[in-house]
Structure 1
Amino acid sequence: MDALLKSANALMGIAARSVIQVEDRVTSPQLRVLVFLAAEGTQNLGAIAEELRVHPSNATRTCDKLLKADLITRSEDPADRRFVQLDLAPAGRELVESVLASRRKALSEVLDRIPDDARAVVLEGFSTFADAAGASHADGRFLLHLSTS
């Protein structure tokens, strides 16, 4: 258990450092919205509120700030104009990609320090662990939740 907790702390540190790199542009909840949209595509406010586990009015305020920063776009839902669709703007996609690239680089640096004969075993172990934890996305959402929940 100690080894698992130690590894979790290392992963959270990597995730936290990637969030710190963009904290001058977005808050942690705003970054969660951007990563969610990057992973899931166009969403409505209800889905974003559910993802953030907040009241819809809080999700609206968060998204309004992202709209003003030109990080997301808003359009009418063609199926029901009472609903709006939210999606990543190019600048939002770029921000998410920079955070995930930072995480990939940091993780790669750690993997490079693992002896070649152990690397495959470590990666298989992490893959099995992620599957058991229900982490179905390789896009960073799981690590983002660890660092901002």
Structure 2
Amino acid sequence: MSPGFTDDYLLYLLAAASARASAGFHTLLAAQGLRVPEWRILACLASREGLKVTELAQQTLFDQPRLTKTLNIMERAGLVRRRSDPSDRRLALVTLTAEGRARVAPLLQQARDHEAQVLARFPAADRTRLKALLIALAG
């Protein structure tokens, strides 16, 4: 039998690899009471405090309506805060609350540990090359 289209189609392979690699970490997030969109927002804000909503949408790969809906949920849960940008009151800046920082801190290490497990089957040079290729592709 000849290979099917998706057997070597890059976009399918990227999606399949992401789904398989992420599954275990997504289970961990669910056990912590977090959804993947909330994790992405927390992870982005952990190293980039005070992002504009448009910047956060780009970083999280969400469209603005989806991001706004998720931010509303997270704000009610006390994880994030929106405030006016002092340089342009029409814009909102999103920051982590103390609770948001406390929730994301251990998850960042758990995410790195999970990443290490996913990549452990590859030699170090392949891990480095894979990340470099993905960074270039995402660039």
SS in 1 for 2:89: strand
TM-score (norm 2): 0.67
Q: 2:104 aligns with which of 93, 96, 101?
A: 96
Could you give the per-residue CA deviations for residues 63-104 of structure 1, whole angstroms, max 9, x where no partner exists? 011111111122211101111110112222233232232233
TM-aligned CA deviation for residue 131 of structure 1:
1.2
Residues 29, 36 of structure 2: 8 Å contact kept: no
Specify which structure has the bigger relative contact order, considering alpha-carbon pairs within 8 angstroms and separated by 6 or more residues.
1
> Over aligned residue pairs, what C-alpha RMSD do you find?
3.1
Report the residue type matching 1:132 in the other structure. L
2:30 maps to 1:29: no
Identity level (%) = 23
TM-aligned CA deviation for residue 129 of structure 1:
1.7
2:89 maps to 1:81: yes
Structure 1 residues 75 and 15: alpha-carbon distance in aligned structure 2, compared to 1, 3 A threshold:
same
TM-aligned CA deviation for residue 42 of structure 1:
1.8
Q: 1:19 aligns with which of 20, 26, 32?
A: 26
Q: 1:42 aligns with which of 47, 50, 54?
A: 50
Q: Could you tell me which residue of structure 1 aligns to residue 3 of structure 2?
A: none
2:66 maps to 1:65: no
Residues 77, 83 of structure 1: 8 Å contact kept: yes
Q: Take 1:87 and 1:52, find their aligned partners in 2: how far apart are those partners? A: 14
Aligned length: 124
Structure 1 residues 86 and 128: alpha-carbon distance in aligned structure 2, compared to 1, 3 A threshold:
same
Q: Take 2:20 and 2:111, find their aligned partners in 1: how far apart are those partners? A: 10
Q: Take 1:110 and 1:70, find their aligned partners in 2: how far apart are those partners? A: 32
2:135 maps to 1:128: no
TM-score (norm 1): 0.64
Residues 84, 91 of structure 2: 8 Å contact kept: yes
Residues 79, 100 of structure 2: 8 Å contact kept: yes
